[in-house]
A and B are shown apart, each in its own frame.
Chain A
Amino acid sequence: MATAVLDKLESIGGFSPLVKLARGQQPLEQINTMFRAVGVPILAFLIFLMLWSAAASQVNTSLGQLPGPAQVWHQAGGLWEEHKAERAKEVAFYERQEKRNAAKLEKNPDAKVKWRTYNGRPTYFDQIVTSLITVFTGFLIASVVAIPIGIICGLNNTLYTALNPLIQIFKPVSPLAWLPIVTMVVSAVYVSDDPMFDKSFLTSAITVTLCCLWPTLINTTVGVSGIDKDLINVSKVLRLSWFTQIRKIVLPSAIPMIFTGLRLSLGVGWMVLIAAEMLAQNPGLGKFVWDEFQNGSSNSLGRIMVAVFTIGFIGFILDRGMLALQRWISWDKSAVLR
């Protein structure tokens, strides 16, 4: 039983030295391997924290000393406490409302009762969720547009030649340049008495779309145009219909490149989102940073630093997520993906 578990663990990458250590195979070498795989990055991180701490204590700003690792950790705890307090307030609000309405109905069953939703301040964690929803909305729109256009461009050289200058011109444009235009267009076009989305949300999402369209588009084009000519000949001999050819031959062979594009796009989108949210005032992480900056309390820099780490960590997780998705979808399980 124990050996079966060990075997299973060994087959999962990264655990094999640990398993070998448990079996007593060359313990010194296993410890050495583990140290190189895990110990070295941890050591590097510790050195980074020390340098940061030492450097931060040297810098004084108008908001006090630049926060070191300890203060940032403290602020992270503070944000978590605020989140819990806010949730408790929300629960209490609904309980009170429940009681009040129940009491009213008891007195007079025909009485009109009002149910209100709690309108508290969004907490740090609510803001993270908002940011994620916004970035995925923008990213999905971009993917839905970019992949088909990329496929067509990859198959049709004339169209590629026609679109290439446009792609090259729009690709390097900063989100900050798009944002005013997008804001004005959304304000002008999206007019509704009962809007389903906030304008700030739409503005941020569309700005993300405009910036993360390009990597997917370009990589899909390259992937599709690089299909093995013999496979195209196979499809010609079989007289596959256009759609079957796309589905059975073009898409599978372009999948690795499409995913490379999607990963780049999501990375760009997440980076762009923070700037877009700052200016569009979409209640996400970007707005959090901006508000803290405007707030200017002695805690602000620490809290912004927490946001910096959160943004970095989420960006990393998103990339790993895309990688896992690629591994799951891709037919070539042996391909080395990093």
Chain B
Amino acid sequence: MAAHGSANFNEDRIMSSAYLSIEGVSIEFPTPNGPFKALDHVDLKINKGEFISLIGHSGCGKSTVLNIVAGLYQATEGGVILDGKEVNEPGPERAVVFQNHSLLPWLTAYENVELAVKTVFKGKMSKAEMRDWIEHHMKLVHMDHAMHKRPDEISGGMKQRVGIARALAMQPKVLLMDEPFGALDALTRAHLQDSLMEIQNEINSTVIMITHDVDEAVLLSDRIVMMTNGPEATIGQILDVELARPRERLVLADDPEYNHYRAEVLRFLHERHAKPDVPVSKPAAEPKEVVATQTETVVEKEEGPQLKLATSEGKSKQEEVA
């Protein structure tokens, strides 16, 4: 099995030029009742500047995928290659935004970001440059007015903003977000999503975000990766979201194409309670094509004409913008 995995590894490496590739990743956790296989052959290629959402039911191993990319877990089989280098330990080029913000409660917002900046840019930036860099990122997340407050003095949404600032200030190659807005109320979440889109517009970083929220996934992502339920979870379907950017929440609320994507994800989540019957042997190699056929087959069964309408509309829209 391992030999097979490594053979695949080399082959894919030559064939693809993806920025970040997750290749045949499986992971087993030892338990008293024998090993528990949480992930089974997860393959995913991500291009530079792409915003990917991982969505799936609770306990399906979304966080495990993220932790493997972060280097916090080691895959049992397969591996992760980022910018031509294999990932085998955590590091600041793969910054993580944790669900519960994980700010050091004894440091102010500024000091929290400073700790990261001082560690990552030690010897590469002068003190003044570091200060500018930190303040720039505080402005980016709209936290410049409260940057000298401690985490217990600011709201949950603000804490998460600081968490994002800390991650971005590390200048990561890929930003990993583990349900970043999961613990926030709906309004705050919407604000943060808008901020995140604004930031993404500006710096165009590569992002993997885990979410439970279908709207969030459709609104923010370039591609939505839907995972089957665990154990032995894997990628069930990948949906390309070809909505033009910049995206406006209010405009999209009435947009049929947006609603189509939304329905698509919802349907997946409702239908796939078990492992999918559709074999997804190598979806990551040509993700776009596979997805296209998959969406069409699913949709044709239930609402064929509408899809065609939606896609053509979306394409013409994109052309207009371009």
Measured between C-beta atoms, what is the minimum distance from B274 to chain A in Å? 31
Q: Give a binary string over B84-103; 1 marks a CB under 8 Å from any A CB, 0 the rest.
A: 00000011101110101010
Asked if B152 is an interface residue, CB under 8 A from chain A, the answer is yes
- Inter-chain contacts of B100 with A (CB < 8 A): 230
Contact B152 A236 (CB under 8 A): no
Of B11-19, B23-31, B114-122, the segment with at least 4 beta carbons within 8 Å of chain A is B114-122
Within 8 A of B (CB), among A195-245: 228, 230-231, 233-234, 236-240, 244
- Inter-chain contacts of A334 with B (CB < 8 A): 152
Q: How far is the CA of A54 from the CA of B270 in the complex (A)?
A: 81
Q: A233-B72, A248-B115, A334-B152 are in contact. Are A239 and B105 (CB under 8 A)?
A: no
- Tell me whether chain A's interface is mostly helix, strand or loop, or mixed: helix
Contact B102 A331 (CB under 8 A): no
Q: Which residue of A lies closest to B152 (CB)?
A: A334
Q: Out of A230, A237, A331, which one reaches B91, CB within 8 Å?
A: A237
- Inter-chain contacts of B102 with A (CB < 8 A): 228, 230-231, 233-234
Q: How far is the CA of A238 from the CA of B89 in the complex (A)?
A: 11
Q: How far is the CA of A155 from the CA of B148 in the complex (A)?
A: 31
Within 8 A of A (CB), among B98-155: 98, 100, 102, 104-106, 115-116, 119-120, 150, 152
- Inter-chain contacts of A236 with B (CB < 8 A): 71-72, 90
**Interface hub of B115, B116, B120, B152 (most chain A Cβ within 10 A):** B115
Q: Out of A239, A253, A331, which one reaches B119, CB within 8 Å?
A: A239
Within 8 A of A (CB), among B39-78: 70-72
Asked if A249 is an interface residue, CB under 8 A from chain B, the answer is yes
Asked if A332 is an interface residue, CB under 8 A from chain B, the answer is yes
Q: Which residue of B lies closest to A233 (CB)?
A: B72
Contact B92 A238 (CB under 8 A): yes
Contact B98 A240 (CB under 8 A): no
- Inter-chain contacts of B90 with A (CB < 8 A): 233, 236-237, 239
- Tell me whether chain B's interface is mostly helix, strand or loop, or mixed: loop
Q: Out of A237, A238, A244, A332, which one reaches B105, CB within 8 Å?
A: A332
Q: How far is the CA of A252 from the CA of B94 in the complex (A)?
A: 26
Q: How far is the CA of A101 from the CA of B70 in the complex (A)?
A: 81
Q: Which residue of A lies closest to B167 (CB)?
A: A237
Contact B116 A238 (CB under 8 A): yes
Q: How far is the CA of A230 from the CA of B102 in the complex (A)?
A: 6
Q: How far is the CA of A228 from the CA of B106 in the complex (A)?
A: 13
Q: Out of A234, A238, A249, which one reaches B120, CB within 8 Å?
A: A238
Q: Out of B70, B104, B170, which one reaches A249, CB within 8 Å?
A: B104
Contact A230 B106 (CB under 8 A): no
10 nearest interchain CB pairs?
A331-B106, A230-B102, A236-B90, A252-B106, A238-B119, A237-B90, A230-B98, A234-B102, A237-B96, A239-B91
In the complex, besides A230-B102, A238-B115, A332-B105, 13 extra interface pairs with C-beta distance below 8 angstroms are: A233-B72, A233-B96, A233-B98, A234-B102, A234-B104, A237-B70, A237-B90, A237-B92, A237-B94, A238-B120, A238-B170, A239-B91, A332-B106
A-B contact pairs, 21 of them (CB 8 A): A228-B102, A230-B98, A230-B100, A231-B102, A233-B90, A234-B96, A234-B98, A234-B104, A236-B72, A236-B90, A237-B90, A237-B92, A237-B95, A238-B92, A238-B119, A239-B119, A244-B119, A253-B105, A332-B106, A332-B152, A334-B152
